[in-house]
Structure 1
Amino acid sequence: MAEENTKETVPETQDLLDLDERSHLCLILNKKKEALTEISDLEREIDQLEKEVMEKISDLGRETDQLVKEVMEKISDLGRETDQLVKEVAYKKEKNRGVSTQNTQKETTPDQIVGKQWLNTKNVSLRLHKGIFLAIPHLHKMKFAVLEIGKCNATESRSFTDADCKFDMIKMEREEEELKHEVRSLNVNFSTLFRPGLEFLTLCHDKNIEDIKKMDKAQMEAMFLLNNYFQSIGLHEESLIKVFNYKESEEGESQSRTKQTAPTETDITVAFAEHLLGRLAPGQSYIIDYKAKKKGKCKCGCNVDPKFGSTGIGHEEVWHGHIDIIFSSYNLEEDQCIANCEKDLVVADCSTSTFTPLKKRKEDVDEKEEVSPGGKTITEVKGTAVGTSEQAIAQTIVFSLLQRQRHPNFPNCMIPNILVSPDYIQIIMYDAVNDILLCSNFIDLFNVNADGCLSSEAVVILWLVLHYRIFCCGLVFEDTVEADIHKSNFQILAKEKWDIYTNQLKSCVPGFPILEKEIKVDTWNRKVLQGTEYCKGMKKKK
């Protein structure tokens, strides 16, 4: 009996041993599977790390190439600046021939000084010129009038000089019956359009040169241009005045003065390009209309050879013609801004409907006379009204539409045209998408109370306008009703040829074919540009 029990126990024990072995084996297999999974994950991580390392190496290679390219560009820029400094030094030496060595050393040009300062990267305490920031409070007072076109010949084959563009300021009246007599002009604040630019200037107020170098490349280069100009502003004032002062010969002047040749419009254009606009523009690059008469070197004595080229824009079937100066963008491969120079801008007198040269207006107007309803401009022009040319309006619209055609993805389509004369500047802007036409009042180029000194406000305004791609944000409306109030009606008036204006405009054209058209003489007097702030609760006057 005992033997039988022993026999039964042995198989049961054997079964238990087999079960333990199988469990142990399963455990080993599971651990092996987990180990293989971990190895596979590690291999994938290694592959990913290798991929990231290769990408980093590739990125570093591209960054190195970019740095090398930037260094070469900087070397090229320094070479051009050195050439310019050599020319200016030669001019100074010629001017001061016969002066002692001690006096000659004292007359080192501001451009030479600032050139050394820029190269001295260890001088982290170098501050930006204070004149830049003294202008900021005055910029908040500047306004643009919003214009409406009544009729124009934009659908005809007309050169800019024959452009017929009747415009007036958009008027707003109160909706309440008892207040309908309250009529105001619609305008836009300069600080609204150029908010990014003013914010950037405010940000730079407490910065030094090293801080600026760490900013966005476009903003950094723009600020260096402005600061460099203010550092050498005295030299440029002297050059501009030397050209402008020969504008007219009055009785009582010395015989040598009366024999001086009065500057041509080309002389004035070259002076502005070399000693003001071109110095502030992106890349300091410009092209002057090659059709300009009596082309030559700058008359100030710097002997710089200006760059002439084809500046024709438009289309022969509509508005077309040549611009006085076209400025390039940052990459120097495309046109960005335009400017037109006049020997005398004119002002319209609303009481007599006649035109008076600005210089005469400035002398004859009573200083106690009330300013326009819009309040004082940044230069406090005392005239009763200001006017602008139909030619400038046409040029602005065509150039804006051309920019829209070539760069449809630009976020801001408010494109400027700068009008300059020896006394004043004026800014006209057109938004080709929203059909908005703006025009500023005249701005004094030189300080009224400091004869011979360029106005810092005018310089900063020109700088902001020339760099509008990074400093202008355009207009943003809350609804379509507000947007419609600001429209100029040009797109409606040009509807017949709208396909040409949006798809077929040309640039850098040396000449346009002549289409035989009847020429109509325009005897219309330009409308008055006065304005006050847009008043909510008012509607457009019909």
Structure 2
Amino acid sequence: MAGAGYAVRRTLDLLAKTNTFAFLNHTATLNPLVISQCNGIEPFAFGEAWLAYKPSGDYDAIPFGFLFQDGIECLIDMVLELEKGDADKYSSTENTHDAEKKASVACIKKYLTEDFEKHEKCLLSLEDLESEVQVKAVLAVHLFAPLIPDSPGVNKYGIDKQHFPKDEGQTKCPTCGEKLRFTDTSFGHSEVWHGYTDIILQKSAVKSAVTVSTKLKESSETRRWTRQEAELDEIESDSDASVSSSSSSSSYSAVEDNKQFNNQKQAEARALAQTITNAFCEQSYRDRFKPSFLATNEKVKIFMYCCDKDVLLETDYMSILEKKSVSIKCLTLVWLALNFDFFQRVDIFDEKSKIQIHYKWPVSNFQKIIGEAPLELYQYKACRPLRPGRNEEVGERKMGIHEEFFRLALKQRDVYHLEKHIDMCDQLKKFRNSRIEDKS
């Protein structure tokens, strides 16, 4: 098992000393997303949120490090001091003069130098965990919380107490036994998107949401997309060709891929809805990109939304573990995102910055799609914790998303009016069944 010295050396190897953000320049990017339709205009729980969206192919992604250049400079300064053997003498520099910045840097320093083996041991157990409850516990205690600076009277994290099992044996980390912290993780507004997030990451001024899913499997996005289109074409076709044993096997594989695709899209839709809603819940920092996370027992994806500019960004999925050790890349990106209020550059939308890196970010269209009245609810009424609506209890309203939705969304149909597509799919099924009956 790798020790603290190994972690520091590995960090030095990854960070390019000649360029303050060369490490992230080539290994992580921020990609803008454009939404075509969503149900954020209606009172649906996060678990029933849906969005039709896609990366904007007309705009280039930018390096993650460009947005967090100050944080990377602080990290490099810290690691260089450690390399000199001055871990106990690490003091403020021109980049860490602020006490809050120093506290944030101290978090990752402590992770790397004092607690690395402890956290690594528990994170390595993720590979063998299938229970979503256990995954939540390990991620909260050993990935996210250690990277958040202490704030007086504020817990670093809280796990959803509303839906977490009450079994005493499940209130501790399954590997190290550390007692878990629970809280009310609800936020939003009962007339639009609202509900509970799996983990809320708390700081004195801002909070981030974490969506946890164990249903996402490693596979090719392109292959899943292609099979989905092929399967939809098969449904729309009136071909009555016979099915051989080999094609039956292929169909079974496509169905399994279909389930994985639906699971992924549902998890991402939930995380995106939480990202947008959570960003509006903060009165401060609405001119910044506010992060939320989608995590599994294998990977983490970061979403970020800027309310003032209506720009939505995502990273690629990042592996939590790399070669049987904690991924320094993943650790660094999560740390930077969590501490965005200290390290995110405030001039990102200035003309000078745009000229410097030659980038443009499209608006996500979320605010245009939902319209003025719902937008006012997000802007002025969304809150944490969630307050009951008129004559109703706080809860998650469930919408039965039809099984054809995600397949239809791939074709970029008018997915806002689901009833039309549900009727169409039902008619197609009835037509195919009637043909089979006629032949028999």
Alignment counterpart, residue 154 of structure 1, candidates 40, 54, 62: 40
Name the % identity. 20
Q: Give yes or no for the alignment of 1:397 onto 2:397.
A: no
Letter of the 1:133 counterpart: L
What corresponds to 1:342 in structure 2?
Answer: 213
Name which one, 1 or 2, has greater alpha-carbon Rg: 1
- Output the CA distance in 2 between the equivalents of 1:462 and 1:476: 22
Per-residue CA shift, 1:385-414, capped at 9, x if unaligned? x976111111100011111xx22xx37421
Q: Secondary structure at the match of 1:168?
A: strand
1:337–1:306 Cα change, 3 Å: same
- Output the CA distance in 2 between the equivalents of 1:273 and 1:302: 13
- CA contact 2:7–2:116 (8 Å) conserved in 1: no
Letter of the 2:377 counterpart: I
Instruction: Quote the offset at 1:205 in angstroms.
Output: 4.1
- Output the CA distance in 1 between the equivalents of 2:126 and 2:61: 35
What corresponds to 1:432 in structure 2?
Answer: 307
- Output the CA distance in 1 between the equivalents of 2:149 and 2:65: 21
1:420–1:515 Cα change, 3 Å: closer
What corresponds to 1:197 in structure 2?
Answer: 71
Instruction: Quote the offset at 1:195 in angstroms.
Output: 1.6
Q: Give yes or no for the alignment of 1:486 onto 2:359.
A: no
- Output the CA distance in 2 between the equivalents of 1:267 and 1:455: 20
Letter of the 2:140 counterpart: A
Alignment counterpart, residue 234 of structure 1, candidates 114, 117, 122: 117
1:485–1:269 Cα change, 3 Å: closer
Per-residue CA shift, 1:140-169, capped at 9, x if unaligned? 221121100001111111011111211011
Q: Give yes or no for the alignment of 1:132 onto 2:11.
A: yes
Q: Which runs of 5+ in 2 are unaligned?
A: 17-22, 230-263, 412-440
The higher relative CO (CA closer than 8 Å, separation ≥ 6) is in 2
Instruction: Quote the offset at 1:344 in angstroms.
Output: 3.3
Letter of the 1:490 counterpart: F
Per-residue CA shift, 1:109-164, capped at 9, x if unaligned? 97xxx9xxxxxxxxxxx999333333334322211211000011111110111112
- CA contact 1:146–1:188 (8 Å) conserved in 2: no
What corresponds to 2:296 in structure 1?
Answer: 421
1:513–1:224 Cα change, 3 Å: closer
1:459–1:315 Cα change, 3 Å: same
1:170–1:229 Cα change, 3 Å: same
Letter of the 1:506 counterpart: C
Letter of the 2:160 counterpart: D
- Output the CA distance in 2 between the equivalents of 1:324 and 1:301: 19
Alignment counterpart, residue 466 of structure 1, candidates 338, 350, 357: 338
- CA contact 2:45–2:397 (8 Å) conserved in 1: no
Letter of the 2:25 counterpart: H
TM-score, normalising length from structure 1? Answer: 0.57
Instruction: Quote the offset at 1:213 in angstroms.
Output: 5.2
1:345–1:274 Cα change, 3 Å: same
Per-residue CA shift, 1:52-82, capped at 9, x if unaligned? xxxxxxxxxxxxxxxxxxxxxxxxxxxxxxx
Per-residue CA shift, 1:402-445, capped at 9, x if unaligned? 11xx22xx374210011111111111110101000111111111
- Output the CA distance in 2 between the equivalents of 1:192 and 1:245: 36
- Output the CA distance in 2 between the equivalents of 1:500 and 1:265: 32
Letter of the 1:238 counterpart: K
- Output the CA distance in 2 between the equivalents of 1:289 and 1:438: 25
- Output the CA distance in 1 between the equivalents of 2:395 and 2:294: 27
- Output the CA distance in 1 between the equivalents of 2:384 and 2:301: 24
Q: Secondary structure at the match of 1:186?
A: coil
Alignment counterpart, residue 442 of structure 1, candidates 302, 314, 317: 317
- CA contact 2:24–2:63 (8 Å) conserved in 1: no
What corresponds to 2:136 in structure 1?
Answer: 269
What corresponds to 1:287 in structure 2?
Answer: 158
- CA contact 1:445–1:458 (8 Å) conserved in 2: yes
TM-score, normalising length from structure 2? Answer: 0.69
Pairwise CA RMSD: 3.4
- Output the CA distance in 1 between the equivalents of 2:273 and 2:286: 23
What corresponds to 2:184 in structure 1?
Answer: 310
1:485–1:276 Cα change, 3 Å: closer
Instruction: Quote the offset at 1:211 in angstroms.
Output: 3.4
Alignment counterpart, residue 60 of structure 2, candidates 177, 186, 189: 186
What corresponds to 2:49 in structure 1?
Answer: 163
- CA contact 1:132–1:227 (8 Å) conserved in 2: no
Letter of the 2:337 counterpart: V
1:501–1:206 Cα change, 3 Å: same
What corresponds to 1:222 in structure 2?
Answer: 104
1:338–1:515 Cα change, 3 Å: closer
What corresponds to 2:249 in structure 1?
Answer: none
Alignment of 1:497-508 (within 5 A): 497-508=374-385
- Output the CA distance in 1 between the equivalents of 2:157 and 2:139: 11
- Output the CA distance in 1 between the equivalents of 2:309 and 2:159: 30
How many residues are paired up?
339
Letter of the 1:166 counterpart: A
1:510–1:129 Cα change, 3 Å: farther
Q: Give yes or no for the alignment of 1:206 onto 2:80.
A: yes
- Output the CA distance in 2 between the equivalents of 1:490 and 1:484: 18
Q: Give yes or no for the alignment of 1:351 onto 2:203.
A: no
Instruction: Quote the offset at 1:459 in angstroms.
Output: 0.9
Letter of the 2:366 counterpart: F
Letter of the 1:500 counterpart: L
Instruction: Quote the offset at 1:497 in angstroms.
Output: 0.9
